[in-house]
Structure 1
Amino acid sequence: MTPKITFEEHFMAPGFEKHSAAFLKLIPGAEAAALTRRLGDFDGERIELMDRYGITRSVLSLTGPGPQGEPPETAIAAAKGANDFLAEKIAPLPDRLSGLAALPMHDPDAAAAELRRAVTELGFLGCLVNSPVHGTYFDAPEYDVFWAELEALDVPFYLHPSNARAHPPVFADMPVLTGATWGWGVDTGSHALRLLFSGVFDRFPGAKLVLGHMGEALPYLRWRFDSRFAAYPMGVELELRPSQYFTRNILVTTTGVCSHAALMGALGEMGPEGVMFSIDYPYEDTAAAAEFIETAPLDAATRAMVCHDNAAKLLGLPLLAEAA
């Protein structure tokens, strides 16, 4: 079994339960209870599943919407509280569990300061942020102070879906389209493209953005981004072709898409160094995700990169050869 690192894996912190209440009402009671239990577990079933399926390290992040669901006046304290809680919970298992910071993105300066604290004082490996913050997207000029801090710390920014501030008319009377089935990916992928076309990755070429769910479908459109941007640049100037920011700055995980065909397409577009395995525990099934990646038509070297070494390199962890 190939050793694996996973890093779109979630937990619940005290005070954030209120954000999940509406979601939990939409699913059967037994499933809601299981999700609640697993989100609050750090050293029981979570570790047992990691052991069973070859997951050597799980990098945990606060379940959505996190501080992005808080009003500006409480977001900073809420993010700090969540990060301190996670640091306490993972401390007994430093070789198995790590953390991604929750951030108060309402205030770019405060977000940069909390990221710095979480990385340098709590030992976190990056951050996971839910998109967007009350309709604000992170390509705005005031966020340059944040991107500068992220680049200086050399840690990744995981852009995770959340509910859009407003839905386009095509979603009207069709609530199934607004959430995880479709709308979350549309909003998150569009947010990532805003970062690309606004020049964030020209100004901060060392910044690393991670997208789940096979990149919210963006890798499959790299050729079209180049073609149509060349035809209709709309006054935007970039140092590289849009496709060239993928893998250099934008990387993807397999979370929530256990399809061999989709995986091979993502690898074809991103290269073997641009795709990483993850699960989205406890919202996705660990057994199904592990079987998917273990049976994928990959050579051993590529499987090791996707399962472990790409994430290890991104997160500053030992590679398989170094750990052997």
Structure 2
Amino acid sequence: MKLIGIEEHFLTEDIQDAWQAIALEATDPSVAFHANAVGRRLLDLSDERLALMDETGLDMQVLSLTTPALHDIGPQSPDLARRTNDLLAEVVARHPARFQALATLPVAFADEAARELERSVTELGFKGTMLSGRVGDVNLDHPMLFPLFEAAADLGVPILLHPRTPPKAVRDAYYSGFSPAIDAAFASYGLGWHYDAGIQFLRLLLSGLFDRLPNLQIILGHWGELVLFYAERLAAMDRVSGLAHPIATYLRRNLHVTASGMFLPHYLERAAAIVGTERLLFSTDYPYQYRPGGDARGFLETCGLAGPDLVGFAHGNWERLTATA
């Protein structure tokens, strides 16, 4: 059975240089995580990546720029995004049966980002885009970013909403007081990344974005970035939200969720109960969650799904979601 991983990351040396030029590591400690084997695997878009895909049992990766992407890059980000997308298009053209791509966007320049998304989808054949949380000090529900969401809805392509490290004030208040290494881990992959991504999604929902763009589709990784596990509690906000529908409606209408290498059948079961099996997507979160031993294929065989639900999880739901791209 064909197996497509829809959250599989890469990085380029040009983007690393852009991060270093603005000393981004000082404000986002996750930049320092892109070292050693992880960094090498992020930069590789050919032999080692393909070999490890074969080893884990993944037929295709949907490539997306790792966090914090271009969200804090200045005026050079439109040109950098365009060059990155052209590079990705070349990679996909060399291995069309193994790779698809999500567009890298100059998110701080929403009108230019919308145009680059359109170019990436209509000219390069990309399947959507990925956003990495806040843009500078601005949350994703800020009106200045609306053109980007509108473009995705008009194009009929999804937006993968990826975690990024919370701002310093939040890290200081909630994730500090240990060693620097523990503080950084706690604020990022330990927990902070995932709260932040879930909160960004809920801000979009509560802002009324899905009432304005009812066909817009968002993808959350890591089985819904904690949101789904509090769906019952979130429903209590229905009485004050002023939205056109209950929150549960948007979870089933505007949200897809993916595994991100968290291969736990009971998480899958909970996600399916909230959004439906037709909205479950497979991913390994390469290279961060890569584990040897046929890990991806092994989870597919033991996840508890069968028949059309299993086919959908493996590849069918993604292909349906991106059929217009």
Structure 1 length normalisation: TM-score?
0.88
Unmatched runs of 5 consecutive residues or more in structure 2: none
Change (3 A) 1:248 1:212: same
Name the CA distance, whole Å, in 2 between partners of 1:309 and 1:166.
Answer: 40
1:153 is matched with which residue? 155
- Point out the more displaced range, 176-185 or 36-45: 36-45
2:237 is matched with which residue? 229
Which aligned pairs between 1:209-288 and structure 2 lie closer than 5 A?
A: 209-226=218-235, 228-231=236-239, 233=240, 236-285=241-290, 287-288=294-295
1:316 aligns with one of 301, 304, 323: 323
AA aligned to 2:313 is V
2:177 is matched with which residue? 173
Q: Answer yes or no: is the 8 Å Cα contact 1:60–1:98 preserved in 2.
A: yes
CA offset at residue 274 of structure 1? 1.6
Q: Give the match's secondary structure for 2:234.
A: helix
- Point out the more displaced range, 132-141 or 284-293: 284-293
Change (3 A) 1:24 1:131: closer
Higher relative contact order (CA 8 A, sep 6+): 2
Name the CA distance, whole Å, in 1 between partners of 2:282 and 2:272.
Answer: 12
CA offset at residue 24 of structure 1? 7.3
Q: Answer yes or no: is the 8 Å Cα contact 1:13–1:86 preserved in 2.
A: no
2:114 is matched with which residue? 112
CA offset at residue 54 of structure 1? 4.1
1:206 aligns with one of 211, 215, 220: 215
RMSD: 2.2
1:47 is matched with which residue? 50
- Point out the more displaced range, 201-210 or 175-184: 175-184
Unmatched runs of 5 consecutive residues or more in structure 1: 319-324
1:183 is matched with which residue? 192
CA offset at residue 250 of structure 1? 1.1
AA aligned to 2:317 is N
Larger helix proportion of the pair: 2
Q: Answer yes or no: is the 8 Å Cα contact 2:9–2:66 preserved in 1.
A: yes
1:37 is matched with which residue? 40
2:63 aligns with one of 60, 64, 68: 60
Structure 2 length normalisation: TM-score?
0.88
- Point out the more displaced range, 154-163 or 83-92: 83-92
Change (3 A) 1:170 1:43: closer
Q: Give the match's secondary structure for 1:192.
A: helix
Name the CA distance, whole Å, in 1 between partners of 2:128 and 2:108.
Answer: 18
Change (3 A) 1:109 1:253: same
Q: Answer yes or no: is the 8 Å Cα contact 1:135–1:164 preserved in 2.
A: no
AA aligned to 2:237 is F
Q: Could you list the per-position Cα deviations for residues 89-136 of structure 1 after superposition, in whole angstroms to 9, with x for gaps in the alignment?
A: 221112221110011111211110110111111111100111111121
Q: Could you list the per-position Cα deviations for residues 239-265 of structure 1 after superposition, in whole angstroms to 9, with x for gaps in the alignment?
A: 110011113111110003221111111
Matched length: 308
Name the CA distance, whole Å, in 1 between partners of 2:156 and 2:145.
Answer: 17
Change (3 A) 1:291 1:167: farther
Q: Give the match's secondary structure for 1:95.
A: coil
